Amino acid sequence: MGMAPGGYLLGAVVLSAMVVPVAAGGRGLRRRFLPFLSGPTATLASIVLGCGLLLSVAEALGAVGEFRRVPMVCGCVVVGAVAARIGRVASHPAVGERAAPSIQRGYAVAAVLVSAVVVAQWGGRTLMALDRGMPNMDSLWYHMPFAARFFQSGWLTRLHFTHGEPLHTFFPANSEVLHAVGMLAFRRDVLSPVLNLGWLGVALLAGWCVGRARGMAPVTLVATAVVLGLPTMAGGQPGDATNDVVALALFLAAVALLLEGRGRPAAVAVAGVAAGLAFGTKLNLVAPVLALTAGAVVLAPAGRRRSHAAAWAAGLVPAGSYWYLRNLLRAGSPVPAVRIGLGPVSLPHVRLSETGAFNFSVAHYATNTRIWRATFVPGLRYAFGWGWWALLALAIGGMVLALARRRPREDRVLGAVALVAFMAYLVTPQTAGGPEGHPGYFAFDLRFLAPPLVLGLMLLPRRRALPALIGYGALLVVGATSRFGWPPHHGPGGVALGLAVLIVAGATAWWRSQPHATSVRVAPLGALAGLLAAVAIGWPVQAHYLRGRYTDRSDWLAPAYLWARHTGHVRIGFVGFFQQYPLYGPDLSNWVQYVGRPGPNGNFSSATTCRQWRGLLRDGRYDYVVFPSAGARTERAWTTATAGGVVPVAATSGLVVRLSSPPDPRTCPPR
């Protein structure tokens, strides 16, 4: 099941050939257009620009069906080389550049210690995923199937249906494209379980940069760490393909670059790129990004609001419009799951007859005391730990206090952005999803509150860092020690990763303190050493991961998952369940599809008759069909009620049947 050494090394080379050029290009663009940035903020800007370049190449190729290994390598090399060439014409730092305020060493050390705790939390969960595979239902339902289909087909603009209704089909998918890039390199998903660890680092870096300009970087970093360490984040993001941490990291990067840019159009544009990337990652970032868009205009100096709005749009629109334009062209609406119109005139929208009945918001139950007692309060405790009340009080207090007239204009704007995002959450469909009176998804979807919570905690302290560090540190401990805050397995391994962060941070700080440190010259050598170390460590890690990937026999779909591990290049249809991703097989060569009927304007529905069902099986050229052990009985009967051509697959407990010949709709039994 593992990779051959040659295949692994080739994958590492291909990945480097895609990532290194765009990383160099991002750094070049930052040096050319944002020479006034330095230190962590310069690094953050380079990451945003490099990520934007990588996604731009992927999206351009994916629009014409060429999202494949060779075109991606060539595209990244060319685009990265051009961007790096632009960077060689580096500008001089802007006149009047202000140095970042000094930060007490003790506060910085405390912030690093807190970050190490969060890394330990996330590291343990990641190690668990490397043992058995990514466990999150959403990862298996649509995040990883989207990535696998991008990898298989080479198209990013074609619609993929993973359910009997197009519930997730039209979601923005920047994060899934990055997972697919890893698949292009290795022909496996070996990078996917560790990808969110990288985004954790970006989020923490952005958190530091938000407070850097006013000397509060340790506080804003710890505020970010508190939210990332909550059970709802630390329990569902690391080791999975969930994208909340990706969207949060990019949103905070937009905030940081907007503040650090101090009104310079180039910085505003790059902040817009970060906001656009967040907008193209997760749909619930629409309200925060739109609010931040208004904030960017308000923060512009007098007489320059139009130019700043244009600069922001120049970054936001190209970086964030791809998926919404795809939806408009494929289904007639940028967000087909929502009715967009005025009166009787509206854009086409998809029918969600089943799942649409569950899309209740928190506001729907605002005055229902029974729901508060039975679901909301226990859900808050589950998602935020037993200190949930303190977390909400501090965050909301920070939002409100930031609006005070004596606060700086930047604080007032961010306070308004946080409040708008918080209020938007309350009325967003699915935040209290579930049948009427049973909002079972409430606790799971509290992760949507991450952006306003982080901003609220960042804005609460104005000048005094020590009380905030102590209070937020206590909040982190409360969250980490809650029932779902700390990983149940691999805790020592996570702690080891946290200690590694401390060692690296300490070594970096020591080196930078040396009077003759030549960090610019050493940086490329350090990057090369880190790359070689990652390749060396990755070899045994990927072998361990592929050996145990989806082999847990306690899973109710385990017989089908274990069977799929020994298949390749077959067409698999399924119905009646969601967790489909393991059916793609270790080498991701199986074509897996929910069996249903595509309709006009992006609609998709299940078969309603035997003739429809068998026609779909025939037209899909499926070799196998997978059923749940309990459920989809009608479809199973339609499949097996024939004289021949259907053979149960051994050792799958009846979950999988083989279609030895194309089903004939004419042989359906009479009604």
Average pLDDT over every residue of 74-82 = 98
Asked if 330 contacts 157 with a C-beta cutoff of 8 angstroms, the reply is yes
pLDDT confidence of 95, banded at 50, 70, 90? Answer: very low
**Per-residue pLDDT tens over the stretch 180-211:** 999 999 999 999 999 999 999 999 999 999 99
pTM value is: 0.96
Q: How far apart are CA 32 and CA 98, in angstroms?
A: 19
Asked if 455 contacts 413 with a C-beta cutoff of 8 angstroms, the reply is no
More confident residue, 303 or 447: 447
pLDDT at residue 92, rounded to an integer: 53
Q: Mean pLDDT score of the chain, rounded to an integer? A: 92
pLDDT at residue 521, rounded to an integer: 59
**Which CA distances in Å does 567 have to 150, 291, 578, 585?**
20, 48, 20, 7
- Percentage of the chain exceeding pLDDT 70: 96
Average pLDDT over every residue of 637-645 = 76
Q: Which two tokens stand for residue 408?
A: 């700086």
Q: How far apart are CA 210 and CA 455, in angstroms?
A: 10
pLDDT confidence of 487, banded at 50, 70, 90? Answer: confident
Type and span of the H or E element at 391:
helix 388-401
pLDDT confidence of 527, banded at 50, 70, 90? Answer: confident
**Per-residue pLDDT tens over the stretch 343-366:** 888 899 998 887 777 889 999 999
Model confidence at 98: pLDDT above 70: no
More confident residue, 129 or 502: 129
**Which CA distances in Å does 528 have to 229, 408, 523, 532, 534?**
31, 43, 9, 6, 10
More confident residue, 240 or 94: 240
Residue 354's CB: how many other CB atoms inside 10 A? 13
- Decide: helix, strand or coil at residue 396: helix
Residue reference for tokens 């590291």: 123
- Decide: helix, strand or coil at residue 127: helix
Question: Where does residue 89 rank: exposed (0-12), middle (13-18), buried (19+ CB within 10 A)?
Answer: exposed
Q: How far apart are CA 543 and CA 468, in angstroms?
A: 44
pLDDT confidence of 333, banded at 50, 70, 90? Answer: very high
For the chain, the residue count is: 671
**Residue-range domain boundaries for the chain:** 5-93+103-337+489-493, 558-667
pLDDT at residue 513, rounded to an integer: 60
More confident residue, 501 or 165: 165
pLDDT confidence of 96, banded at 50, 70, 90? Answer: very low
Least Cα distance to 268 among 221, 234, 291, 300 occurs for 300
Query: In terms of DSSP H, where are the helices of 514-584?
Result: 519-548, 558-564
Least Cα distance to 257 among 44, 23, 36, 29 occurs for 44
Highest mean pLDDT among 77-91, 133-147, 395-409, 528-542: 133-147
Asked if 130 contacts 544 with a C-beta cutoff of 8 angstroms, the reply is yes
Asked if 311 contacts 85 with a C-beta cutoff of 8 angstroms, the reply is no
Residue 620 phi, psi dihedral angles, 5° rounding: -80, -5
**Per-residue pLDDT tens over the stretch 552-588:** 988 889 999 999 999 999 999 999 999 999 999 999 9
Question: Where does residue 633 rank: exposed (0-12), middle (13-18), buried (19+ CB within 10 A)?
Answer: exposed
Residue reference for tokens 């000397």: 215
Residue reference for tokens 């930060």: 103
Model confidence at 591: pLDDT above 70: yes
Name the region of 184 (left: φ>0; alpha: ψ -120 to 50; beta: rest).
Answer: alpha
Provide the β-strand partners of residue 620.
none
pLDDT at residue 644, rounded to an integer: 62
